[in-house]
Amino acid sequence: MITADRMAAVDANAAALGVPRKQLMESAGNAIAREVRTVADPGATVTLVCGRGNNGGDAFVAARFLSDYDVRVRLLGRPETIRTTIAKENWDALAAAEIDAEAVVDPVAEPNRLTLANADVVVDAMLGTGVSGPLREPERTVAKRITEAASSTASDATVIAVDVPSGVDADTGEVAAGPDGEHVAVAADRIVTFHDAKPGLEELRTDATVTVADIGIPTAAALFTGPGDLLGLDRDPESHKGDHGEVLVVGGGPYTGAPTLAARAALRAGADLVRVACPESVAREVQGFSENLIVHGFPGAILEPDHLDRIRDLAAGRDVVVFGPGLGDAEPTLSAVERFLEDYDGRAVVDADALQVVPDVETEATLVCTPHQGELRAMGGPSAENWRERAERVREFAAEIGHTLLVKGAYDVITDGEDLRVNRTGNPGMTVGGTGDVLAGAVGAVACTQRPLQAAAIGAYANGRAGDLVVEERGYGLVATDLIDRIPEAVRTDA
């Protein structure tokens, strides 16, 4: 099962692994052609109705594999409005292959030019995962025409939908109601969906047969983090302060640098506002590191249960709390963390010594734990020789404790007990102290807007990539603060 956003990420990861989208479209087109062959007798008339996105692009490719049929390609709109280069290249290739391809600029006024009337097979390639909102014209009227062609006695065409029936949301199966209150989507007899099943197709009340076609996306594109995982960070131009999250870092005590590293990393990873709650003994020092932080000192030198009311007030209204950097493991501190988590139901990243309380605490909170392998063992977690073995055992442990784990190593293992990701960015220069605090802060910032597993995957990828950028430039001998300044570059999606 894969969502549309995850599909786009995996698609981009595949490209980064040397399997370009053009090749995926070629495979998708071939899969459509195979599906047509299962229902079309030799010489059958096949009409492919195409939108201006990559869903249409898939069908342009399919047509090239179907030219032994009476095949017609009908583009809704003008060729110059085709959205992507790949789709445009495939549209242009139809002329070279002397395939009957026509742009129907006004299919509502001239439905006959769609040649649906005598089609034996109609391929619905108007829209796939790119749909947003109720079908607009001309797709709306054409969707009705396609559904009519399937049921009219004259032609009784078989309708094959590309990826998802046009008008259906791939994630939810919903068909948005139009201004007239009508829910319009293509009624398909068969659906060819790519790479993995779509949640929306399970929800769809239909007796259509669903074929999940492998289009050659390498397993590595879904297993290993890559640039595609950053796509979720794209920002809405209309956003305003606070939309990208407010983080509270609860840390400090024996160590002062740790909470500052985590807080500054959270800012660099995109949080709008970062607060630090730390013992008064270090508050001045933390504030001294960066005027962009809002520092709240609590009395004494370590976090204790007496401070909980204050911490709870500060955590209220924040998106994510990052617990742990520099807190130390004094008994009062660990019992304060445990009691905070017992009645906290928000999102939190738990790192360093605070991790010890996680396996036994009863909490409604959504936790992302970021242990290194020693801390994982201290949590009662597994140890293993190689990353593959560790991945499986950590996945079981995450399922057991019910939280997301990011286990740091040469290969970071990221899992929520179900999905598994492995991060390969980073280098041996990052064993220096403090890089874990930077990671915890980065994960905390990203967890404001992304699901926990995705936040951990992005945080690990960005932290490691920042470290790689530093080493590429200056060789080993990096220190944790070097990472912080490179995080914005590490999370750029246009790189």
Ligand X SMILES: NC(=O)C1=CN([C@@H]2O[C@H](COP(=O)(O)OP(=O)(O)OC[C@H]3O[C@@H](n4cnc5c(N)ncnc54)[C@H](O)[C@@H]3O)[C@@H](O)[C@H]2O)[C@H](O)CC1
Which residues are known binding-site members for K(+)?
Answer: 55, 124, 166
Q: How many CB atoms lie within 10 A of CB 106?
A: 12
Cβ at position 304, least distance to ligand X in Å:
51
Residue 215 or 365 having the CB closest to ligand X? 215
Q: How many CB atoms lie within 10 A of CB 287?
A: 16
Residue 129 or 423 having the CB closest to ligand X? 129
Cα gap 410→431, rounded to integer Å? 10
Binding-site member from 13, 115, 155, 166 for K ion (CB under 5 A):
166
Query: Binding to ligand X (CB under 6 A): which residues in 134-193?
Result: 134-136, 139, 162-163
DSSP 25-92: HHHHHHHHHHHHHHHPPTT-EEEEEE-SSHHHHHHHHHHHT-TTSEEEEEEES-GGG--SHHHHHHHH
What does the H/E/C string look like for 238-267? Answer: CCCCCCCCEEEEECCCCCCHHHHHHHHHHH
3-state secondary structure of 299: coil
377 and 412 Cβ atoms separated by less than 8 Å: no
Cβ at position 276, least distance to ligand X in Å:
40
Residue 196 or 280 having the CB closest to ligand X? 196
Decide: is 93 part of the binding site for ligand X (CB under 6 A): no
Please list the alpha-helical segments (H only) found in 112-183. 139-151
Task: Mark 120-159 with x for binding to K ion (rule: CB under 5 A) and - for no binding.
Answer: ----x---x-------------------------------
Residue 58 or 353 having the CB closest to ligand X? 58
Residue 109 or 177 having the CB closest to ligand X? 177
Decide: is 31 part of the binding site for ligand X (CB under 6 A): no
Decide: is 48 part of the binding site for ligand X (CB under 6 A): no
132 binds, among ligand X, K ion, none (CB under 5 to 8 A by kind): ligand X
Structure tokens at 225: 């983090």
Decide: is 430 part of the binding site for ligand X (CB under 6 A): no
Piece of 126-134, 318-326, 346-354, 378-386 that binds ligand X (CB under 6 A):
126-134
Annotation: binding site for (6S)-NADPHX? 54-58, 128-134, 163, 258, 326, 372, 437
Task: Give 3-state DSSP helix, strand, coil % of the chain, rounded to 5.
Answer: 45, 15, 40
Decide: is 162 part of the binding site for K ion (CB under 5 A): yes
246 binds, among K ion, ligand X, none (CB under 5 to 8 A by kind): none
User: DSSP class of residue 357?
Assistant: G
Decide: is 40 part of the binding site for ligand X (CB under 6 A): no
Decide: is 232 part of the binding site for ligand X (CB under 6 A): no
215 binds, among ligand X, K ion, none (CB under 5 to 8 A by kind): ligand X
Binding-site member from 6, 15, 30, 51 for ligand X (CB under 6 A):
51
3-state secondary structure of 354: helix
**What contacts 165, CB < 8 A, 6 or more positions away?**
124, 185, 186, 187, 188, 191, 204, 206, 208
Residue 128 or 444 having the CB closest to K ion? 128
User: What amino acid is encoded at 197 in this protein?
Assistant: A
Binding-site member from 2, 6, 31, 58 for ligand X (CB under 6 A):
58
Cβ at position 166, least distance to K ion in Å:
4
Paired strand residues for 177: 183
Decide: is 16 part of the binding site for ligand X (CB under 6 A): no
DSSP 305-319: GGGHHHHHHHHTT-S
Residue 141 or 335 having the CB closest to K ion? 141
24 binds, among K ion, ligand X, none (CB under 5 to 8 A by kind): ligand X
279 binds, among ligand X, K ion, none (CB under 5 to 8 A by kind): none
Decide: is 52 part of the binding site for ligand X (CB under 6 A): yes
Annotation: binding site for AMP? 436
Query: Dihedral sign, CA of 213, 217, 221, 223?
Result: positive
User: What amino acid is encoded at 294 in this protein?
Assistant: I
Annotation: binding site? 54-58, 124, 128-134, 163, 166, 258, 326, 372, 436-437
DSSP 443-484: HHHHTTTS-HHHHHHHHHHHHHHHHHHHHHHH-S---HHHHH
Structure tokens at 211: 């074929």
Q: Which of 51, 455, 416, 22 is nearest to 269 (CA)?
A: 455
166 binds, among ligand X, K ion, none (CB under 5 to 8 A by kind): K ion
Residue 52 or 372 having the CB closest to ligand X? 52
Cβ at position 183, least distance to ligand X in Å:
12
Site residues for K ion per CB under 5 A: 124, 128, 161-162, 166
Residues that bind ligand X (CB under 6 A): 7-8, 11, 24-25, 28, 51-58, 83, 127-136, 139, 162-163, 194, 215
